[in-house]
A and B are shown apart, each in its own frame.
Chain A
């Protein structure tokens, strides 16, 4: 019987080594260990053995069984590993194929610029205000110290609805509307569309966008104006940006200034973007004219403030290297998807 067991063990070893698929292993399991299997058949004969032989053969049979089970387990692992490896190999794909297209939406470059600037000022404690685009002459001009027949009125080539109502030529009327609400202190910015009767070309559009800002509080100085705008410029164009203030004239501020920033393209060395100047004109600003404060019901003896305004198309065009303003209004998907 010992020989029989040995023979089964050897046969099993050979069979398992030859197994090619998991199914073969399962078949072998039945063949050797199943109810009608070879080992079982032998064990059934155990009864015929003598009392002395029985434990010895029993132990041997057990060892053979364990051995076969081990072989079974190993073969199965081996074959599973091989099968997995085969499957992985078989499943390879061309990963250089393009991905499945997802619908891809984009913000308009103007909105990107507007949102970014508003976020900077929000971080500095400014509210974002809004105002009407069809505006009264009073808010657009008179309350900003631009009386009837003032040359500035002509310079801005206004679209009129009637003698009294016009399309705002600047976002500055929102300053007046904010002041009139009488809630002080004021820290606000207001982005929006403005209108001037310029024929459409690469650098002009009858509709364009401005952002206006205003701070009114006790003891606001021109130094504060410079400080706030210098911080803004660094946030918008980078930490190394320097600013320069030049005297200028706006009817609603006094003193008035224009602020230049070092060219973001060359850092102030002079290049094509800044036409060799090293600086780019960014915005107009100044201390709110005492007359303007007074007209809006704020006591200029007690309060002072500053205001600033900038054209946003130019900021967007310079930032993205856009050379034709008309592209911003054409809405060609090939253009819009670049931002």
Chain B
């Protein structure tokens, strides 16, 4: 909301400097976004007088002017403008001046003639002919009357005003107006607030109800409709003061009638509309819901499709406006309109908002209505409008008002408890001061019974807490003493889940991975990219009904698409390697369409490529399992069922019989789909299962007193025997003293028969009671070797 300071000061005579004012009004609750001066960047542009004009010797279209601009000497200025004559008073941009748009003007040469500045058009000063209708369509602005020479144009054209931009919160529709801001300013400085005196002479003959009849068919969506009639309308430009104010408030001046409606909207916050009565059939205004398939061409010339949820202003034949949004072309004021109907109505805020959204037309009017306006404003506003009609001589006001207002909104009472307010705010404000603050914002106070009467323009004041806010605002938020809550002590902590999650993140960061952040929604095409079969449950994703586009339309059911995309980004940017991880959720619906909230499963995803292989990733996984106390129980089982993974290079992670995730190499076809031109690796862990299986209980084990005895064995086995199978047999047959089974070599190649591999283990035995002798482990070793030979057909190699 842009409010010119001069306009506001007419009603609240603030004297503070603009910078102080901005801070003060912001701290009392009307947040200022910034301010501009009307003059903008204009600098060093003065009034001047054309003493002489001669032709430019080398240019047909240029002339050389001798100018007296009060500079002590005459200036030579070259111009191409066709409209200047000797004796004209004109704006002169001197050497080193700035005109609209920040353009700097310096002395320069134009076809060999020195020009010591520039003569200006209104456009070059940042305006147009709506602001200065007397300005020529093309050419230099010429002052209609002689002016003192050398005077700053900013003063002569009265451009010294400031326009302040406010951010108005949705609970304060009353502040969407010059008067609303003025009321706040007056309360902020505790100065008088002058509401405009609204009187209408009503000099025309007849009565309004003779000219117009109003029927409200839907009083819920239109609580009030006020109409006044003006006869013998004289359409023309509105006076300069009005045009200037409109312009400052960001509205283009059009003509006196339209300008008046806009002026009242800005000043009072009540949108209005002016209809040409001749175009209203039977002079009968009907406020009704639109019909199925009905259309209207709005003032901007666009045909709009309507539906029955929308409210229209109509005559018995046709819609003439979309209520609260925009008037129709069929009823607009034109040159020659004789009688005008001023509509000042109240429409349901949410309905206007939805309608504006549906027809794709958010106007100044609709944005005001949608906040929910006070229906009591409508009458004052229409009276203000016709008062201005009389003031501008734009027509004759017909006596009387047509006012359909079935359910009048009355002021309401609220009780307050000063002690409660002080306790709530942590203040010690006297009852008298509270009363004073209430009165400043136009609440009527009954100080004995502690009751205030709330004016109808403050629907936000519903309960005592709202009153406490008013007290706090004008007492000063920053005067409330900051205290530290005493009360019952609480322990600040993370949950167990959060602790485990932190541990997981810290561990993989220590292992060299960088934390990533990806979107939780993605494209349904992801499933094809990941080779997920059409009948997979993973495709049963939750769909967003109004997504930003297909690419962001489903809630992810797999956690790694974002990480794969990020790996691709890194690959395409020629980063030699990348190791990323993320703990984020997947969203698994219990049923579709969604009836209850889905299962959101936090998931750890690690993805990497570069100078590495499967076992680098597995090392990280094992480290993580160790940190989480699952190292001893985690098993890694060949996993061939994940379509996006390399079937020969993927393992599931099984902990206590629970499949908690997997790790492996990404399927080459998937890598191709993502444009990753190198092997990449992926690990995924279900964090709920990790949390359930993590074991952070540590019980100290006594350090060994007696030395271990180790045996190294090497064997030949078929190449598809996994080392897990071998280790399992060793463990099974190792006896009571077996302490550790450690793989130390796997070899295939020269000296090894094709289809076989050599595998070497170091097996350690230890007793807590004694130093073991060879004889103590002989049986165990025999059993191990026998087991390997029988179950795996292993051939022991000499070692």
User: Do A and B come from the same complex?
Assistant: yes
Which residues A279-309 have CB closer than 8 A to chain B?
287, 289-291, 304
Which residues B200-249 have CB closer than 8 A to chain A?
none
B73 at the interface (CB under 8 A from A): no
B515 near A336 (CB under 8 angstroms)?
Answer: yes
A185 near B597 (CB under 8 angstroms)?
Answer: no
Q: Mark B469-512, 1 if CB is under 8 A from A, else 0.
A: 10011000110111111111111111101100010010011111
B661 at the interface (CB under 8 A from A): no
Which residues A291-333 have CB closer than 8 A to chain B?
291, 304, 328-333
B492 near A337 (CB under 8 angstroms)?
Answer: no
A165-B594, A333-B578 known; A222+B472 contact, CB < 8 A: yes
**In whole angstroms, what is the CA distance A103 to B473 when docked?**
55
Q: Of the candidates B28, B423, B484, B566, which one forms a contact with A331 in the assembled complex, judged by CB atoms under 8 Å apart?
A: B566
Residues of A within 8 A of B555 (CB): 134, 161, 167
Q: Of the candidates A155, A245, A287, A330, which one forms a contact with B465 in the assembled complex, judged by CB atoms under 8 Å apart?
A: A287
Q: Name the residue in A118, A199, A249 with the highest tally of chain B Cβ atoms < 10 Å from its Cβ.
A: A249
A134-B600, A187-B490, A217-B485 known; A103+B511 contact, CB < 8 A: yes
B31 near A246 (CB under 8 angstroms)?
Answer: yes
Q: Of the candidates A217, A223, A328, which one forms a contact with B481 in the assembled complex, judged by CB atoms under 8 Å apart?
A: A223
Residues of A within 8 A of B566 (CB): 330-332
Closest B residue, CB atoms, query A218: B487
Interface-lining segment among B189-197, B276-284, B538-546, B724-732: B538-546
A121 at the interface (CB under 8 A from B): yes
B29 near A246 (CB under 8 angstroms)?
Answer: yes
Residues of B within 8 A of A134 (CB): 542, 555, 587, 594, 597-598, 600
A96 at the interface (CB under 8 A from B): no
B426 at the interface (CB under 8 A from A): yes
A22 at the interface (CB under 8 A from B): no
A19 at the interface (CB under 8 A from B): no
A334 at the interface (CB under 8 A from B): yes
A125-B491, A159-B547, A207-B520 known; A149+B350 contact, CB < 8 A: yes
Q: Of the candidates B473, B517, B548, which one forms a contact with A247 in the assembled complex, judged by CB atoms under 8 Å apart?
A: B473
Q: Mark A103-118, 1 if CB is under 8 A from B, else 0.
A: 1111110110001001
**In whole angstroms, what is the CA distance A149 to B26 when docked?**
28
**In whole angstroms, what is the CA distance A221 to B420 when docked?**
10
A221-B426, A222-B472, A334-B575 known; A121+B492 contact, CB < 8 A: yes
Q: Of the candidates A105, A221, A330, which one forms a contact with B513 in the assembled complex, judged by CB atoms under 8 Å apart?
A: A105
Residues of A within 8 A of B519 (CB): 206-207, 329
Determine how close the nearest CB of chain A comes to the CB of B639; give it in whole angstroms: 25
B482 near A223 (CB under 8 angstroms)?
Answer: yes
B598 near A155 (CB under 8 angstroms)?
Answer: no
B766 at the interface (CB under 8 A from A): no
B331 at the interface (CB under 8 A from A): no
**In whole angstroms, what is the CA distance A291 to B486 when docked?**
24
Q: Report how many A-B pairs have Cβ atoms within 8 Å.
A: 255
**In whole angstroms, what is the CA distance A336 to B472 when docked?**
45
Residues of B within 8 A of A237 (CB): none
Q: Name the residue in B349, B460, B487, B488 with the highest tally of chain A Cβ atoms < 10 Å from its Cβ.
A: B487
B424 near A127 (CB under 8 angstroms)?
Answer: no
Closest A residue, CB atoms, query B513: A105
A222-B472, A224-B483, A330-B569 known; A336+B516 contact, CB < 8 A: yes
Residues of A within 8 A of B492 (CB): 121-127, 187
A222-B480, A227-B483 known; A248+B169 contact, CB < 8 A: yes
B170 at the interface (CB under 8 A from A): yes
Determine how close the nearest CB of chain B comes to the CB of A139; give it in whole angstroms: 10
Q: Mark B315-354, 1 if CB is under 8 A from A, else 0.
A: 0000000000000000000000000000000000110011
Number of interface residues of B (CB under 8 A): 92
Which residues B423-451 have CB closer than 8 A to chain A?
423-427
Count class of interface residues, chain A: 35 or more
A255-B468, A329-B517, A329-B518 known; A222+B424 contact, CB < 8 A: yes
Residues of B within 8 A of A255 (CB): 425, 465, 468-469, 472-473, 477
Residues of B within 8 A of A56 (CB): none
**In whole angstroms, what is the CA distance A123 to B484 when docked?**
14
B544 near A185 (CB under 8 angstroms)?
Answer: no
Residues of B within 8 A of A115 (CB): 502
**In whole angstroms, what is the CA distance A162 to B597 when docked?**
11
**In whole angstroms, what is the CA distance A83 to B254 when docked?**
102
A215 at the interface (CB under 8 A from B): yes
A333 near B169 (CB under 8 angstroms)?
Answer: no
Residues of A within 8 A of B26 (CB): 246
B552 at the interface (CB under 8 A from A): yes
A244 near B482 (CB under 8 angstroms)?
Answer: no
B597 near A249 (CB under 8 angstroms)?
Answer: no
Q: Name the residue in B28, B517, B569, B578 with the highest tally of chain A Cβ atoms < 10 Å from its Cβ.
A: B517
A206-B548, A254-B466, A254-B469 known; A333+B423 contact, CB < 8 A: no
A226-B480, A330-B566, A333-B570 known; A161+B594 contact, CB < 8 A: yes
Which residues B347-379 have CB closer than 8 A to chain A?
349-350, 353-354, 357, 370-371
Closest B residue, CB atoms, query A193: B520
A265 at the interface (CB under 8 A from B): no
Q: Of the candidates B170, B464, B495, which one forms a contact with A130 in the assembled complex, judged by CB atoms under 8 Å apart?
A: B495
Q: Mark B559-585, 1 if CB is under 8 A from A, else 0.
A: 000010010011001010111100001
A161 near B569 (CB under 8 angstroms)?
Answer: no
Determine how close the nearest CB of chain B comes to the CB of A309; give it in whole angstroms: 16
Determine how close the nearest CB of chain B comes to the CB of A141; give it in whole angstroms: 13
A244 near B514 (CB under 8 angstroms)?
Answer: no
Residues of B within 8 A of A219 (CB): 423, 486-487
Residues of B within 8 A of A110 (CB): 517
Residues of B within 8 A of A151 (CB): 170, 349-350, 353, 370-371
A159-B544, A255-B473, A332-B570 known; A227+B353 contact, CB < 8 A: no
B509 near A161 (CB under 8 angstroms)?
Answer: no
Determine how close the nearest CB of chain B comes to the CB of A197; give it in whole angstroms: 6
A245 near B478 (CB under 8 angstroms)?
Answer: yes
Residues of A within 8 A of B490 (CB): 125-127, 185, 187
Closest B residue, CB atoms, query A149: B350
Determine how close the nearest CB of chain A comes to the CB of B337; give it in whole angstroms: 35
A28 at the interface (CB under 8 A from B): no
B415 at the interface (CB under 8 A from A): no
A105-B514, A134-B600 known; A333+B171 contact, CB < 8 A: no
Residues of A within 8 A of B593 (CB): 162
A105-B508, A162-B593, A162-B594 known; A247+B28 contact, CB < 8 A: yes
B172 at the interface (CB under 8 A from A): yes
A247-B29, A328-B517 known; A105+B548 contact, CB < 8 A: no
B580 near A331 (CB under 8 angstroms)?
Answer: yes
A161 near B544 (CB under 8 angstroms)?
Answer: yes
Chain B residues in the interface with A (C-beta under 8 A): 26-29, 31, 169-172, 349-350, 353-354, 357, 370-371, 423-427, 460, 463-466, 468-469, 472-473, 477-478, 480-495, 497-498, 502, 505, 508-521, 542-548, 552, 555, 563, 566, 569-570, 573, 575, 577-580, 585, 587, 593-594, 597-598, 600
12 residue pairs from A and B, CB less than 8 Å apart: A108-B516, A130-B498, A150-B350, A187-B490, A197-B547, A217-B488, A223-B425, A223-B481, A254-B466, A255-B465, A290-B465, A304-B424
Given contacts A223-B480, A249-B460, A337-B514, 10 further A-B contacts (CB under 8 A): A132-B600, A150-B170, A151-B370, A155-B170, A206-B521, A207-B519, A222-B427, A223-B425, A227-B485, A254-B469
Q: Return the 5 tightest CB-CB contacts between A and B, nearest first.
A: A103-B512, A223-B426, A221-B426, A255-B469, A247-B29
Chain A residues in the interface with B (C-beta under 8 A): 102-108, 110-111, 115, 118, 121-128, 130, 132-136, 149-152, 154-155, 159-162, 165, 167, 185, 187, 193, 195, 197, 199-200, 206-207, 215, 217-224, 226-228, 230-231, 244-249, 251, 254-258, 287, 289-291, 304, 328-334, 336-337
